[in-house]
Amino acid sequence: MDHLTHLIKRYPALAQIRGAIEQAYRLLEECYEKGGKLLVCGNGGSAADSDHIVGELMKGFYKQRMLPAAERKRFGEQGEKLQGALPAIALTQHGALSTAFLNDVDPAMVFAQQVYGYGQGGDVFLGLSTSGNSANVVLAAKVAAAKGMKVITMTGRNGGKLKELSDVCMIVPAQVTADIQEYHLPVYHTLCAMLEEHFFPDA
């Protein structure tokens, strides 16, 4: 059973956003095929989810992702312990930069500044906001689009402002913050698993 079918079997209510999940996957696959990276952000529980997503992409998730023999040899002893990675950065984890910028410039622009600094055309921005209206995520999405990045978002309720700013908006069928976040986790786990399956088929 493929990962997406397994997700829908476990969470039937998510069948209504299956198309959006598939679209998000295709954008991520294209990004990584072309050597791009993912920038992720959110607030509170969604900040923790951002870091969680990076953890699943930057190392083995279901698979060990052993490096090819030639690459293992090039890295020597370290090559036996390194794992294949899909480049991803959580914009929530840079305390010195974030606190300096929010103190000296504008708190609402803290993620947008990092998107400006890290992002390039062909990269993907993933913004998590249960309401779809988190000001700092909305502003980051606008900067990402202006830089030629694809914008994927995960929300709940009616999608909020992010719905109109997104190439793909995955609006899970829930209204309460905790319920929305409980749906977000299996969705992003599935996306990470699908990417791992594609990029590390022999791992």
Residue range(s) defining the domain that contains residue 129: 3-199
Cβ atoms of 187 and 21 within 8 Å: the answer is: yes
CATH number, residue 145? 3.40.50.10490
Domain count across the chain: 1
Give the pLDDT confidence score for residue 1 in this predicted structure.
Answer: 59
Read off the pTM.
Answer: 0.96
Q: For residues 188 and 108, give the distance between their C-alpha atoms in angstroms, rounded to a whole number.
A: 25
* Strands of the 150-155 sheet, one edge to the other: 88-90, 38-41, 124-128, 150-155, 168-171
pLDDT, tens digit (0-9, with 9 covering 90-100), for 142-176: 999 999 999 999 999 999 999 999 999 999 999 99
Give the pLDDT confidence score for residue 202 in this predicted structure.
Answer: 82
Q: Is the pLDDT of residue 78 over 80?
A: yes
Instruction: Give percent of the chain above pLDDT 70.
Output: 99
